[in-house]
Amino acid sequence: MKLEKEYVDYLISKTEEIVKIDSPTGYTENAAAFVKKEFEDLGFKAYYANKGGVIVEFGGKDKDNGLLLEAHVDTLGGMVSKIKSNGRLELTNLGGMNPNNAETENVKVITKFAGEYEGTFQLNDASIHVNKKYDENKREWSSCEVVLDEDVHSVDDVKKLGISVGDIVCFDPNFRVTKSGYIKSRFLDDKLSVGIIFAFAKYIKDNNIIPERAIYAHITVYEEVGHGGCGNVPEGCTEVMSVDMGCVGEDLNCTERQVSICAKDSNGPYNYNIVKTLIKTAMDNEIDYAVDVYPMYGSDAEASLRAGNDLRHGLIGAGVYASHGYERSHKDGAENTLKLLIAYLLQ
C-alpha cells in the first residue's frame, strides 16, 4: 500500500505540536482544546465529553455498525505532595511516572493561581562530590525532589511564590526527530497515536471519503489512570479500536518501524476475529507489522468493555521503545499504523 509522504510529514508535525502542550493526567484542558480545534479545522464535528475528552465524528453510512477509535492525550507527570523545610518540593506521581527515569529532567510547576515556575527533578543531595551514598540511594518519590529555579530556602519562601500542595508538575518532553527517521520524546505514549488519527482524518477529508460504516474517535484524558475509555461510546458502535503504543522490548517481536497488533495484554485477549482481520489486512496490503502479547499493559478499549459496553475490541499502535521513559519510535512505524487504519477502515 502506498501513502503520500505529506501524510507522514503531517502526523509528525502534529505530534510535535501536541507533545509540547503539557497534559499530565488531571491537567489536560489545553491539549484537549488543541485536539478539538484541529479536528474542526479539518471539517469534522468535535465536541467535549463531560470528563474532558474529545469526541469526533468522521461520518459513515452504516450507523448501526459503528467503530470507535480511541487514543489518549493525557500523559505521565507529577503533583506537589509536600513543601520541604529546605524549599524543595516532594512529588507524588500522576500515572506511571517513574523517578528512576525522571531524574535530572527539567520540570514546570503549574500553580493554581500564581502562574508557572521552572525547576529540576533531582535526587536528594544530588552533588556527587558531596553525597558519598549517591550510587546507593534508591530513586523513589520520597528520595527525590524538585529544586526550584528560585531563591527559596524554606516552606514560607515557597508559599510566597504561590506554590502549594496539589500543584501540577510537568516534565519536559525533549522532542526530536533524527535524520534516520527516529522519533524521540517523552509522551509518545500516546500523542504519536493522536497525530496518526489527525492524519487519518486529513486523508478522509482530502479524498472526500464517506466510510461504509460510521467512524468516531474519542481522544481520552484519563487513560494513564485507567478510566479514560469508561464511557462516551456513541450510539450504534459495535467495535472499539485503541490506537496506542506498540511495546518494544525483550521477548517481543515488534520494532519501532512496525505497526504492532496486540493479541493479548495483561487484562486478557483482544477479539480473535478482529486480530485475525487486522493481520490479514496488513498482509494483503504489504504493511510491515508484528503480533505480540504485552506482559504489562492495559488500554482504553478494555476500559470501554469494563464499563459495561457490548463491543468487539482491538489494539494497534506504532512500536515504541522505553515506554514511560524517554521513548523512541520511527516514522515508518507511524506510517505503517496509519496505513493499517486506512486499509482496515476505508478499503
User: Which residues are tagged catalytic?
Assistant: 223
Task: Residue 178: count other Cβ atoms within 10 Å of its Cβ.
Answer: 11
Q: Specify whether the CB–CB gap between 222 and 244 falls below 8 A.
A: no
Contacts of 214 (CB under 8 A, 6+ apart): 57, 58, 59, 60, 61, 62, 63, 65, 66, 67, 234, 236, 237
> Which three cell numbers mark 198?
489527525
Cα of 333 vs its chain's centroid, Å:
15
DSSP code string of 252-313: ----TTSEEEEEEETTEEPPHHHHHHHHHHHHHTT--EEEEE-SS---HHHHHHHTT---EE
Largest Cα separation within the chain, whole Å, is 68
User: Residue 221: enclosing H or E segment and its boundaries?
Assistant: none
Beta strand extents in 124-181 (DSSP E only): 144-148, 168-171, 176-177
